[in-house]
Structure 1
Amino acid sequence: MSVNPEVSAIRPFTVAFPDAELEALRARIAATRWPDKETVDDLTQGVQLATIKELARYWLAEYDWRKCEATLNALPQFLTEIDGLDIHFIHVRSKHEAAMPVILTHGWPGSILEMLKVIEPLADPMAHGGKATDAFHLVIPSMPGHGFSGKPTAVGWGPGRIAGAWAELMNRLGYREYVAQGGDWGAVITDLMAVQAPPELIGIHTNMPGAVPQDIDAALLSGNPLPEDLSDEERRACAQLAFSYKHIYYALLMGSRPQTLTGFADSPVGMAAFMADHDVPSMALISEAFAGKAVGLTRDDVLDNMTLYWLTNTAVSASRLYWENKFAFLATKGVTIPAAVSAFPDELYQAPRSWVERAYPKLIHYNKLDKGGHFAAWEQPELFVEEVRAGFRSLR
């Protein structure tokens, strides 16, 4: 597949932070003023003091950002201006020329780093238990205001505009037929790409499906009674949703007062504690990682991501996406193109097939997995890779 000849619009990019910035980060970590210990013995008050102290100790004394920097710089990275804003992206082409192009979109408080573990298995499946016919060309952009992409200086960069920018990016790279995948914000953006339906987009895969019926979503948010004819599986999903909606105050704050989070640009440990409390299962994973347990995320996974936010000073600019958003996170969006759905048990909710079939009328794949959570590519890369392969197989 040929690449757009307008190569002058696509510039190579290299990550290079000076030592002075890393020293300044360590100085701020060392100067942290700590709160008192929580008054409970569990996670019900948020990230425990012992966890965040161990995170800070490791960040200060053992963590090495240069390893992450080298990993990124070993990948082909680029910048291109779209709609007046620089967009950073990784672009890995498979050695299999017939590979399927896919654009993978991260979420918050994640980044492109969520996808690093799945790049090689998706691009080179024969080296990772797959077949040549499973191969993908990968495009992994940083959302506006996140990572190495530009920070919007005016309003208007909501998920719908990002969806349009992604279609332009794929067109600029010369892909005349491609698929899209996403979780968290990436799931919302991927759904909206499907709603916008550029002719080159032939299908999507989501691991956080927007499948909640509008009436149920409204009832859960308002506290009104749910329909009486729900199945047991649907009731379990509603219970998960009710719990999730009760614990998304971070989203309410970012959605109403992102600029109030100025402290995120001043205190790396304060920023880290807020980011670690995205959802209860993910917070538990992070807590276990810093307690020395082998779980889906390592201490370096967590701190690579947090250090990226700190060094690029994007904790506040990334938060503004919540303020810009006008779409329900988990409710149906009106997708009508082929769609694949992977329902992980520790997601904000495990979407019942009955809801998924209504939300995605051209459903080409549905699998209800028995492990994995919100950051599926990061936590369970092998399962994620197989789901992406299986999800898009019928479109090849």
Structure 2
Amino acid sequence: MEGNKRKKAKKKEEKLTHSSKKRNIKDIEAGKKLNCCAITLTVISIIAAAIAYHVYTAVFHTPELPAVDLDVWWGPNHTKHSRDTSIRPFRIVFSDAMQEQLVRKFDHHRRLEQQKSFNDTAWTYGVHSSAQEQIFSFWQYKYKPKERERFFNKFDHFKTNVQGLDLHFMRVRPETENIKVLPIMLLHGWPSSFREFYEVAPLLTTQRPGYDFVFEVIVPSLPGFGFSQGAVRPGLGPFQMAIVMRNLMNRLGFTKYYIHGGDFGHVIGSIMATLFPNEVLGFHSSMPMTLSKPAELGRLLGAIWPTFVDAEHWQKMYPLKEKLEFLIEETGYSHLQATKPDTIGIALNESPLGLATYILDKIMIYTDPENKFLKDGGLSKYYNGSMIDLIDNVMVYWVSESITTSMRIYKELSRVELTLEQIPTSVPTWFLCLKNEMFYNPEFLLRWKYPNLIGTTTHNFGGHFAALEKPQELADDIFLAVKIFKKIKFEM
């Protein structure tokens, strides 16, 4: 009996021991699993933190300013040692030879059988043939070159050599005395020219009630545009043009000045304000855009919740798909000019009407995207229903034969311009936001690039070429912006 009891007790003890061992093994295995999970979670956390840090630094990191060489030579090398710093009067001339050439080309065009556009496509395939005939007829029969030559020369024009380039600029001084005169540089883009500012300049130089200042207006032709010489070697993009424009202002004796820009004029003016904040007193733009990475991220998030980004004007940015489709459809020219500007330049320099339709297609669509659904492209609806201002602008390119060198600005865009977009601009800034401007950003996104954004003015009209289409409204806004710039500076 005793033996059986001992055997049973021993077996029970062995069973308990075995069970205990199994529990210990399970506990060990569970511990290992917990440790493994902990390690995995730790690794995942580290990776996630690293990714988050990388994304944060990639989006919010402010790069260093690029090196600035104020004396890069863009002209022929043999002119570098005989620098001419004089400021020379310049006169715009529509020569008899040029006019005879136009007549011959127009006569040749008239004798050709023209390809007709589809009846119901308006400008969705490009400039409609009926609009082309309208442009041709106006230019041939109603445009008076000698009268327009006198119009162009109603303001003073000059040339001076900066960094090897003969630069053309227009200078409009106020006639008013005993009032403070502030210098302002007006910068055009493509395919506009200095002609864009002919209606704005006298408005800015005329004294108005409520303002104790007027402007002295400097309107340059960008290098390679109009009557300004183009570079003889690659590399003259917006970054380098900003340096050239700053040196031009210094040449004229201005070390403190204001800037307004639209299109590429916005890009160049913004770079000037970023590089030379001690010289630029204020920056005004009619193209409210920034390519800063935080703003880009904000625009993407707005595709999910548009009203969060801009409760009032979200339709100007969204639906994102529609806006991107529009840009893809209407910016094909920029890809062509960014890759083969000299090729398309040859074609455009051969045909005045080809040049005109190429330029006017961009101007009319960016004035109002709805123009593409009108048979005449809006030519009778905008610009007072007259093409005289538009043909003036085309004539600048035709007479100067500058279409090729002007288009090279697209080819010369580089990473340095994108880098500068990530660097905050401390200069006081003001934006004019017009209804049909192809780029739009609300104030809080613009502040990533322009932390000293003083304000914006929003209108339910107008398009990309503000100075040409709405000169009065642009002049009013520049006056208002500068008045507030000056007030803030005085209060500080």
TM-score, reference length from structure 1? 0.89
1:75 is matched with 155
2:288 is matched with 209
State whether residues 148 and 392 of structure 2, in contact with CA within 8 Å, keep that contact through their aligned partners in structure 1.
yes
Distance 1:385 1:329, change over 3 A: farther
1:251 is matched with 334
1:310 is matched with 398
2:97 is matched with 20
State whether residues 276 and 282 of structure 1, in contact with CA within 8 Å, keep that contact through their aligned partners in structure 2.
no
**Counterpart code for 1:21:** M
Distance 1:370 1:81 in 2: 42
- Deviations along 1:314-335, one digit per CA (max 9) or x if unpaired, are 1111111111112369976632
1:63 is matched with 143
Select between 321-330 and 99-108 the one with higher mean Cα deviation.
321-330
Distance 1:60 1:329 in 2: 46
- Deviations along 1:59-109, one digit per CA (max 9) or x if unpaired, are 111111222321221211110111100110011122345111100001111
State whether residues 100 and 137 of structure 1, in contact with CA within 8 Å, keep that contact through their aligned partners in structure 2.
yes
Distance 2:270 2:201 in 1: 22
Distance 2:420 2:469 in 1: 21
Shift of 1:277: 1.9
Select between 204-213 and 169-178 the one with higher mean Cα deviation.
204-213
Picking from 191, 194, 211, the partner of 1:112 is 194
Shift of 1:229: 4.1
1:338 is matched with 428
**Counterpart code for 1:68:** R
Shift of 1:7: 10
RMSD: 2.8
Which 5+ residue runs of structure 2 have no aligned equivalent? 1-82, 487-492
Select between 64-73 and 382-391 the one with higher mean Cα deviation.
64-73
- Give runs of aligned pairs for residues 31-42 of structure 1, distance below 5 A: 31-32=108-109, 33=112, 34-38=114-118, 40-42=120-122
- Give runs of aligned pairs for residues 317-396 of structure 1, distance below 5 A: 317-326=405-414, 327=417, 334-396=424-486
Distance 2:381 2:228 in 1: 34
2:352 is matched with 268
**Counterpart code for 1:373:** G
> Which secondary structure state, in structure 2, belongs to the residue aligned with residue 278 of structure 1?
helix
Which 5+ residue runs of structure 1 have no aligned equivalent? 1-5
The structure whose Rg is larger is 2
Shift of 1:210: 2.7
Distance 1:359 1:297 in 2: 38
> Which secondary structure state, in structure 1, belongs to the residue aligned with residue 457 of structure 2?
strand
Distance 2:289 2:87 in 1: 33
State whether residues 183 and 216 of structure 2, in contact with CA within 8 Å, keep that contact through their aligned partners in structure 1.
yes
Distance 1:146 1:281, change over 3 A: closer
Select between 106-115 and 41-50 the one with higher mean Cα deviation.
41-50
> Which secondary structure state, in structure 2, belongs to the residue aligned with residue 372 of structure 1?
coil
> Which secondary structure state, in structure 2, belongs to the residue aligned with residue 365 of structure 1?
strand
Distance 1:329 1:252 in 2: 21
State whether residues 205 and 388 of structure 1, in contact with CA within 8 Å, keep that contact through their aligned partners in structure 2.
yes
TM-score, reference length from structure 2? 0.72
Select between 288-297 and 275-284 the one with higher mean Cα deviation.
288-297
Select between 13-22 and 239-248 the one with higher mean Cα deviation.
239-248
Picking from 27, 30, 55, the partner of 2:107 is 30
Select between 224-233 and 354-363 the one with higher mean Cα deviation.
224-233
Shift of 1:351: 2.8
State whether residues 230 and 405 of structure 2, in contact with CA within 8 Å, keep that contact through their aligned partners in structure 1.
yes
Distance 2:90 2:379 in 1: 36
Picking from 156, 166, 175, the partner of 2:254 is 175
> Which secondary structure state, in structure 2, belongs to the residue aligned with residue 88 of structure 1?
strand
State whether residues 288 and 295 of structure 1, in contact with CA within 8 Å, keep that contact through their aligned partners in structure 2.
no
Select between 234-243 and 73-82 the one with higher mean Cα deviation.
234-243
Structure 1 residue 89 corresponds to structure 2 residue 197: no
Select between 285-294 and 22-31 the one with higher mean Cα deviation.
285-294
> Which secondary structure state, in structure 2, belongs to the residue aligned with residue 135 of structure 1?
strand
State whether residues 65 and 304 of structure 1, in contact with CA within 8 Å, keep that contact through their aligned partners in structure 2.
no
State whether residues 183 and 215 of structure 2, in contact with CA within 8 Å, keep that contact through their aligned partners in structure 1.
yes
State whether residues 435 and 461 of structure 2, in contact with CA within 8 Å, keep that contact through their aligned partners in structure 1.
yes
Distance 1:194 1:324 in 2: 20
Distance 1:361 1:247, change over 3 A: same
Shift of 1:132: 4.9
**Counterpart code for 1:323:** K
**Counterpart code for 1:313:** E
Distance 2:105 2:202 in 1: 36
Distance 2:89 2:383 in 1: 35
